[in-house]
Each structure stands twice: as C-alpha cells, then as structure tokens.
A and B are shown apart, each in its own frame.
Chain A
Amino acid sequence: MSNAALSQAGLPAGTDAGPGTKLLRAVAGRVVIAVPYLWLLLFFLIPFVIVFKISLSQTAIAMPPYVPVFDLSEGIFGLFASLRELSFENYLWLTEDALYFNAYLSSVMIAGASTFLTLLVGYPIAYGMARAPATLRPILLMLVILPFWTSFLIRVYAWIGILKPEGLLNQFLLAIGVIDQPLIIMNTHTAIFIGIVYSYLPFMVLPLYSALEKMDYSLIEAAQDLGCPPTSAFWKITFPLSLPGVVAGCLLVFIPAVGEFVIPDLLGGSQTLMIGKTLWNEFFANRDWPVSSAVAVILLLLLVVPIVLFQNAQARAQEQGR
C-alpha cells in the first residue's frame, strides 16, 4: 500500500486539493483498506495456518488437548523447538483408516449428485422466472430469496416431520393409496439429497436466473426463424448461453454441500458418512483436535479447485459489471 499506489487508484482527482485534503484522502484510503484487511488476516487467514499447524501436532490429554502448544512467549526459538516436534502422524492415520477415505469419497459423491439434482430442479424454475412478465419478476425473485432468510436449521428440521416413517409424506401417500407400506426415506441418502436440494435451491436459481434474464429473447426467435424447433433452440442457444450461470450455481451448491454437517446429521442418520460430520464427531465426541484439523486441511485441499473456480467466476462477473 505505497503512496504511489494509493494516489494512482485513489479517490477521483479533480479539484486542486490542498495539502490537508491530500493527506486526509491518503489516510482515509489507508484506513478503508487496512481495517478489513487486517481483520480478515487475523480472523480468516491466520486461523488456517493454525489449523495446519495443529494438524501436525499430537493428541494429548490436556487443555488444549494437543502438544506442542504454540507458545508466543518462547519467541522464535520456541517456534523452532515446537517445529521439531511436529509430525505427519495424523495424516498417516487418515490414510490408514478407511473411514476417512470413504467419508471424503461419499461427501464428494453425495454433494455431486445433489448438485446435479439441484440443477435439474432449479433450471426450470429460473427459466420460468426469466420468462415471466417483467412486472412479476421482482416478486418471484423475492419469493426465491425469502426462504434463504429463514434459518437453515429450521428448514432442515421441517423435513424431519415430513420424511419420517410416520411423517406427513407417508401419511399422505398411504391416504391416497399410492403405497401400502410407509416409505423409508429418513436416514437414507435420499433424505440427504432432498435436504441439500431444498436448502441450496436459491443458490442455484439466482445465478441461473440472472444469466437467463440477461439473454436477448430475439436470439431464440432468430434460431426459430432459421428453422430450429423450440426444444432444439433451447439446447443450441439458451443452454450454452446460460452456462456461466450453471457453473456459478453448481459451485455455490457443491462447495458448501461437501462440508455440510447439519443435513447429514439430522436427515442422514448414523450410517451416513460425510466429512463435515466426521470432523464434527472427531472434535466434539472424540476431542481429537489434531485429527479433526487434519480432516479440515484435506477437506480444504479438496475444495481449493472449486473455490478458485468460483473466485475466478466472481472476478469475471465483476469485470463485466464495470
């Protein structure tokens, strides 16, 4: 944050500012950048470094329950001393126990499958919204966003009453005679799929909608005019042009779904293996901080690629917005 950089990018130069104004401007610029920057460094970046460090520590029956404890009072020498005690044992442990590998694998698969399902459910909704009369669109948009404002936990909880063997869905299906045995949905993967699709639907619909809404409808007319029937026009024109929205929507669903805890915990039952749940259990039930840190590090590595993709998409959208 050099002075030169600030003045190049700073507040618009136009008036002949006195030295006081210039100083004020430079200070204001520095504060605006520095405060959130330092905050995020302290509370977002440094914690990851600590997670990484602790993942290399060993479990101990103490508080905090690991050694070596990173102690600032010992200064730089203390740091080196503790570095020597670090080990990759926790990571070895993760590779030895098939539980972790399976948890990672099944997290990715469940998240992938539910992302795809969310796309299938969300696309027609976003498409319908984009085609709705302009006066109706803000209301529909509001209706999609509104559930997002209500608690995630509550929305997942609402499904328990519906999906239970004696729940509302089974009562309804039994009553109309579609089934004569209650369906077992609760505590299966199906329940997790439903939970993820339901909870993350707005994340899928919004980027899709904004991509579809921007699209010039005369492109579809042009395709039809050139002899392309509507269904084929959809696949040749509409879908390819909505791809940025599809990518953004899928990433917004997939990334948090991989590490999801509440949904597999409440809807998936005890047999479901998902990495977010495993991490939670290692931490709260087994009190094994180093292992849960190692789990977190690997989960993060797993998500680096999609997160970077997401950031690039964001940056590109931002550039286009300018």
Chain B
Amino acid sequence: MQSLGSIRRDFSPWNDPAAKPYIVFDQVTKKFGDFTAVNNLSLSIYEREFFALLGASGCGKSTLLRMLAGFEEPTSGRILLDGQDLRGIPPYRRPVNMMFQSYALFPHMTVEANIAFGLKQEGMESSKIADRVAEMLRLVKLEQFAKRKPHQLSGGQRQRVALARSVAKRPKVLLLDEPLGALDKKLREETQFELMDLQQKLGLTFVVVTHDQEEAMTMADRIAILDKGEVMQVATPAEIYEAPGSRFVANFVGNVNMFEGMVTARDASGVSINSESGIAIRTENAGDAQSGAKVAYAVRPEKIKVSSRPPMDTANNAAEGEIYDIAYLGDMTVYYVRLANGLVVKAASLNSARLTDDPLTWNDRAWISFKPDSGVVLTR
C-alpha cells in the first residue's frame, strides 16, 4: 500500500497540457422526455485514471455511466473514447465493461461460467478462456468457489465475481456503478483498497459512480461533483475538501461552517470580511473576491479550536459563545458553540489524550478561533 501511494502521488496528467484525455464528454445533454438528466456537460478523463462521479441520487451520474457503456445515447453532444466517437456503437461492441450495482450475475451459471461469458463472446479459444478464468479467480481470491452458483455466495463474494467478470475481457475502461453500495461498512473499507490495488495491477482506467463521498475520497485520483446534470467541480480529493469552488461543493463534501458576509477590504496578504454573524474575519485564501463582494467564508470544523479562554494569538479570528451541544465520537469530540447572534458553529477536536486538561461542558462560555489560512472565501 505504501508504494501505491507514492505512484499515485506522481500521477497527474490533468496538469500536463501535452497529455491527451482518454475519455471526453463534449457538451453532452441527455433528456428523458421533459426531464434533463445531463445538461450540456463536458468532462475529460485520462488513461489509467481512477475517476469518481460523485453526487446525490438523480444528479445524472448513472446516466453518464450508462451513456459511456452504450445503454443510453446522448440527446446531443459527443462522447469520445481514445479519440473515437462512440455514437451509434451498441454496448456489445464497445471496449468498455461495466460492473453493475446489482452485480447482475447470471443466476443460472456458475461463477466460472459468469467470468467466461464475455470471453466466449469474443470467440476466444477454450484453453485460453480456462487460463484467463483461472487467473481472474486467483486475482479475486475465489479459486475454490469456481463451481458455485451466485446464490451460494456471500455479498462480498458476489461483488468480487462481478468484478472479475467485468475485468476478464481487459476492457480499456472499467465502469463501476456503486461498486461497494451493497456491502456493509467494514467490508466496504477493505474492498476499497482491493479495488485500488487491482486498478494499479491491471493498469486500467476506472470510472466509478458513487454517492458515498468517503468512498470517492479514498479511491479516486480525481472527483467530479455533479448536481442536476451539471459538473460543479472536478479536482483531486484534497482540493475538493480544502479548496471547494462553491458553497454547494463545500456543503456537499464533509462538514463545514459557513460564514456569510461582505468583503470590506482587500490587500496583498488577503481580505477582511464582515460576517453576518458579527465576527470580523481576516483570511489569506481570498480567491478572486473583490472589496464589496458578497461572499461566504467556509471553514471545516476540525480547523476551529475551542477553548475556555480567549486565544493568545491576536492574528487568529475568534468569537465568544456558549457550548450548546457536545457530540463525543470517540476519536474526536464535536462542540456546537452558539455565538451571540445565534449562529451555531461546529468545532471538532481530536481526542489525542485520554483525558483533556480543559474540560468543557454544556452551557459553558467558550471561545472559538481559527487561523487566517484555515478556510476559503467562496464567491459562488
């Protein structure tokens, strides 16, 4: 796993202007009757990328995947794969394979026959098929289950059969529709790493659809956040989390405190914001916000410190309030602090020591504070 991390860190073709995208959605629109599932969407995905489409249900992410697989045709726009326009090519002639949310394992066939199904369609020699099936079974560690039928397998095993079946043909692109959706939490975490490992081993391009942000953050090189058929932001997990491009993205991914306000001054080192909650905020991450602009200042709970005394460092942004609620989560404690004007701010503090020296409790007066570079200014 360690080595994998270092490979992935170097992988960033989207920053290389010379790199050619592998999959291109070019102004794609898809309508079902009156309903617009995908609205004039453009997106580029690079070879060997692990790309996640993240959004709530009905945001159009599955439709995108199904258009790539060939089950739906775009109403307008083009989809290119390795430079080739996919329009009119039926699903059974596309060099992409899909892992279905329901797994769609053929119930009347054994595990072996399921995995061999796609290879037989290609007209591969039977000895080669047997070799490839054995290889796939090894890859997903299901050698001893070859002769079983799908209903004799556990959920996790079925998931691995579906995976083996969809990669058996060595597709150029593997599409995964909520690949871990049906697994329980523990199994899901394990499988995330197995999927990443497999993608590296086979050197395939993965496009995964998910509604689970943690899953997308863990696995993907880049994430596209979708809403109402449009792309809200495409970026690496860290960028999405630390530098969301809009209020929507900031709210959608993780927890956030949002201070609405107006920019009162802008200088070389940042901006000052007069927030509606009454605190004056000084920040370095100003983006393109000009003086007088209505903006939101977004700061993640774990970047806010709570203490019973005012902060020493006057460069920090700070406000006084009252502890309104406390959620003890084990690894961390989340304090809900109500400020003077009623705004409730979430502040998470890591429980690195077993007992804190500064025990805060309900209805205590408390100070929240955060550094000038802790949050971002959002204009959209």
The reply, when asked whether chain A contacts chain B directly with Cβ atoms under 8 A, is yes
Q: Are A240 and B108 in contact (CB under 8 A)?
A: yes
CB of B155 within 8 Å of the partner chain: no
Q: Are A226 and B165 in contact (CB under 8 A)?
A: yes
**Would you list which residues of chain A between 177 and 232 have a CB under 8 Å from chain B?**
216, 218-219, 221-230, 232
Residue of A nearest to B108 (CB): A240
CB of B21 within 8 Å of the partner chain: no
- Which residues of the partner chain A approach B156 to less than 8 Å between Cβ atoms? none
Q: Are B92 and A224 in contact (CB under 8 A)?
A: yes
- Which residues of the partner chain A approach B299 to less than 8 Å between Cβ atoms? none
Residue of A nearest to B175 (CB): A225
Q: Whole-angstrom distance between the alpha carbons of A226 and B117 in the complex? A: 7
- Which residues of the partner chain A approach B105 to less than 8 Å between Cβ atoms? 222
CB of A237 within 8 Å of the partner chain: yes
Q: Are B104 and A216 in contact (CB under 8 A)?
A: yes
Q: Are A237 and B106 in contact (CB under 8 A)?
A: yes
Q: Are B106 and A221 in contact (CB under 8 A)?
A: no
Q: Are A219 and B106 in contact (CB under 8 A)?
A: yes
Q: Are A228 and B106 in contact (CB under 8 A)?
A: no
Q: Whole-angstrom distance between the alpha carbons of A241 and B151 in the complex? A: 14
Q: Are A226 and B121 in contact (CB under 8 A)?
A: yes
Interface centre among B71, B91, B97, B101 (most CB of A within 10 A): B91
CB of B17 within 8 Å of the partner chain: no
CB of B90 within 8 Å of the partner chain: yes
CB of B13 within 8 Å of the partner chain: no
Partner of B98, one of A216, A222, A229: A222
1/0 per residue B101-133: CB within 8 Å of A? 110111110000000011001100000000000
Q: Are A241 and B108 in contact (CB under 8 A)?
A: yes
Partner of A224, one of B90, B102, B108: B90
Q: Are B118 and A221 in contact (CB under 8 A)?
A: no
Partner of B91, one of A221, A236, A237, A241: A221
CB of B282 within 8 Å of the partner chain: no
Q: Are B71 and A241 in contact (CB under 8 A)?
A: no
**Would you list which residues of chain A between 99 and 136 have a CB under 8 Å from chain B?**
none
CB of B100 within 8 Å of the partner chain: yes
- Which residues of the partner chain A approach B91 to less than 8 Å between Cβ atoms? 221, 224-225
Q: Whole-angstrom distance between the alpha carbons of A233 and B118 in the complex? A: 11
Q: Are A221 and B108 in contact (CB under 8 A)?
A: no
Partner of A219, one of B90, B98, B101, B104: B104
Q: Whole-angstrom distance between the alpha carbons of A218 and B102 in the complex? A: 8
Partner of B97, one of A216, A219, A225, A230: A225
Q: Are B97 and A226 in contact (CB under 8 A)?
A: yes
Q: Whole-angstrom distance between the alpha carbons of A41 and B186 in the complex? A: 57
Min CB gap A224→B, angstroms: 4
- Which residues of the partner chain B approach A228 to less than 8 Å between Cβ atoms? 92, 117-118, 121
- Which residues of the partner chain A approach B160 to less than 8 Å between Cβ atoms? none
Known: A226-B121, A227-B118, A227-B121. A241 touches B100 (CB 8 A): no
Known: A221-B71, A224-B92, A225-B69. A216 touches B169 (CB 8 A): no
Residue of B nearest to A218 (CB): B104
Q: Whole-angstrom distance between the alpha carbons of A241 and B109 in the complex? A: 10
**Would you list which residues of chain B between 130 and 179 have a CB under 8 Å from chain A?**
165-166, 169
Min CB gap B72→A, angstroms: 11
Min CB gap B111→A, angstroms: 14
Q: Are B107 and A223 in contact (CB under 8 A)?
A: no
Known: A221-B71, A222-B98. A227 touches B104 (CB 8 A): no
Q: Whole-angstrom distance between the alpha carbons of A236 and B70 in the complex? A: 20
- Which residues of the partner chain A approach B121 to less than 8 Å between Cβ atoms? 226-228, 232
- Which residues of the partner chain B approach A216 to less than 8 Å between Cβ atoms? 102, 104
- Which residues of the partner chain B approach A225 to less than 8 Å between Cβ atoms? 69-70, 91-92, 96-98, 166
- Which residues of the partner chain A approach B90 to less than 8 Å between Cβ atoms? 224, 229
- Which residues of the partner chain A approach B102 to less than 8 Å between Cβ atoms? 216, 218
Partner of B92, one of A218, A227, A240, A241: A227
- Which residues of the partner chain B approach A233 to less than 8 Å between Cβ atoms? 92
- Which residues of the partner chain A approach B97 to less than 8 Å between Cβ atoms? 225-226
Q: Are B100 and A222 in contact (CB under 8 A)?
A: yes
Q: Whole-angstrom distance between the alpha carbons of A226 and B100 in the complex? A: 12
- Which residues of the partner chain B approach A232 to less than 8 Å between Cβ atoms? 121
Residue of B nearest to A219 (CB): B104
Q: Whole-angstrom distance between the alpha carbons of A225 and B95 in the complex? A: 9
Min CB gap A304→B, angstroms: 29
Min CB gap A222→B, angstroms: 4
Q: Whole-angstrom distance between the alpha carbons of A241 and B169 in the complex? A: 24
Min CB gap B46→A, angstroms: 23
Interface centre among B104, B108, B118 (most CB of A within 10 A): B104
Interface centre among A218, A221, A226, A232 (most CB of B within 10 A): A226
- Which residues of the partner chain B approach A230 to less than 8 Å between Cβ atoms? 92
- Which residues of the partner chain A approach B93 to less than 8 Å between Cβ atoms? 227
Known: A229-B92, A241-B107. A223 touches B117 (CB 8 A): yes
**Would you list which residues of chain B between 47 and 93 have a CB under 8 Å from chain A?**
69-71, 90-93
Min CB gap B180→A, angstroms: 17
- Which residues of the partner chain A approach B92 to less than 8 Å between Cβ atoms? 224-230, 233
- Which residues of the partner chain A approach B69 to less than 8 Å between Cβ atoms? 221, 225
Interface centre among A223, A225, A227, A241 (most CB of B within 10 A): A225
Known: A216-B102, A221-B71, A222-B98. A227 touches B107 (CB 8 A): no
Q: Whole-angstrom distance between the alpha carbons of A294 and B102 in the complex? A: 56
**Would you list which residues of chain A between 211 and 265 have a CB under 8 Å from chain B?**
216, 218-219, 221-230, 232-233, 236-237, 240-241
Q: Whole-angstrom distance between the alpha carbons of A79 and B267 in the complex? A: 118
Min CB gap A179→B, angstroms: 42
Interface centre among B70, B118, B122, B169 (most CB of A within 10 A): B118
Known: A224-B91, A225-B96, A226-B166. 18 other contacts (CB 8 A): A218-B102, A219-B104, A221-B71, A221-B100, A222-B100, A224-B92, A225-B69, A225-B92, A226-B92, A226-B97, A226-B121, A226-B169, A227-B92, A227-B121, A228-B92, A230-B92, A236-B117, A241-B107
CB-defined A-B contacts under 8 Å, sample of 12: A219-B104, A221-B104, A222-B98, A223-B106, A226-B117, A227-B92, A227-B118, A227-B169, A228-B92, A229-B92, A233-B92, A236-B117
* The 9 residue pairs across chains A and B that have the minimum distance between CB atoms: A226-B118, A227-B121, A222-B104, A218-B104, A224-B91, A224-B92, A225-B98, A227-B92, A228-B121
